[in-house]
Amino acid sequence: MNIVLLGAPGAGKGTQGKNLSERFKIPQISTGDILRANVRSKTTLGQKAKEYMDRGALVPDNVVVDMVVERIQAEDCINGFILDGFPRNIRQAEALESTLDGMNKKIDAVVGINVDRKELIRRLSGRRVCRKCGANYHVIFSPPLNIGSCDKCNSEIYQRDDDKEETIEARLKVYEEETFPLIEYYSKKHLYRAVDGIGSIDQITKAILDTIEKGRNNS
């Protein structure tokens, strides 16, 4: 099962990707997480990516595509994968398709998570992340038990640079201009379906599973 999760920053792709990964026992591939790990360890890739990430722009396609092509060929993707944050534009989608063609594989479902702009800004501006395990919190809706430290591993919780107000606007604009056209792209291929991204995490996971199942029965 090869799944693509689409949605604006803050729509919940990371959270839902994690649930789907546990459910289907296939890896979640988050390009944002891979890039951030590279920035943290100051690799050449990370140093190159940082300047784009800090201003909310997309990292150049060739960098991200190479990274994903290598990742989906890894042993643990044999039974499938969940892409979270990739593709982000039509060029990346085309590169993915031709890579999968070459591997005799295909995308089984593209699920878009719909959340309105006001809610996205509310979520992103209050989001806090554990530096070590990546657990997500929100200053108002789901704060950690002890301010500043992770409930799961006790490490420091921080605000991502690109979750600051001015960068959020830039990221949403990039989404609208570059990523949004993928909805039409995948709709034409009869792969796209959308779920409402407002509700409890479990409710949304169920809606995603239902829509994937429906698509399987119709194909």
Residue 59 in contact with ligand AMP, rule: CB under 6 A: yes
Q: Site map for ligand AMP, 156-195, x if CB under 6 A?
A: ------x--------x------------------------
Q: Site map for ligand AMP, 97-136, x if CB under 6 A?
A: ----------------------------------------
Instruction: Work out how close the CB of 76 gets to ligand AMP at its nearest, in angstroms, rounded to a whole number.
Output: 20
Q: What is the DSSP string of the chain?
A: -EEEEE--TTSSHHHHHHHHHHHHT--EEEHHHHHHHHHHTT-HHHHHHHHHHHTTPPPPHHHHHHHHHHHHTSGGGTT-EEEES---SHHHHHHHHHHHHHTT----EEEEEE--HHHHHHHHHHEEEETTT--EEETTTB--SSTTB-TTT--BEE--GGGSHHHHHHHHHHIIIIITHHHHHHHHTT-EEEEE--S-HHHHHHHHHHHHHHHHHH-
From the list 85, 112, 144, 197, which residue makes contact with ligand AMP (rule: CB under 6 A)?
85
Dist. CA 161–CA 219, nearest whole Å = 42
13 is catalytic: yes
Q: Of 15-23, 28-36, 108-116, 205-213, which part binds ligand AMP (CB under 6 A)?
A: 28-36
Instruction: Work out how close the CB of 133 gets to ligand AMP at its nearest, in angstroms, rounded to a whole number.
Output: 15
Closer of 116 and 210 to ligand AMP (Cβ): 116
18 is catalytic: no
From the list 19, 21, 86, 127, which residue makes contact with ligand AMP (rule: CB under 6 A)?
86
Residue 38 in contact with ligand AMP, rule: CB under 6 A: no
Instruction: Work out how close the CB of 58 gets to ligand AMP at its nearest, in angstroms, rounded to a whole number.
Output: 4
Query: Annotated active-site positions, please?
Result: 13, 88, 127, 160, 171
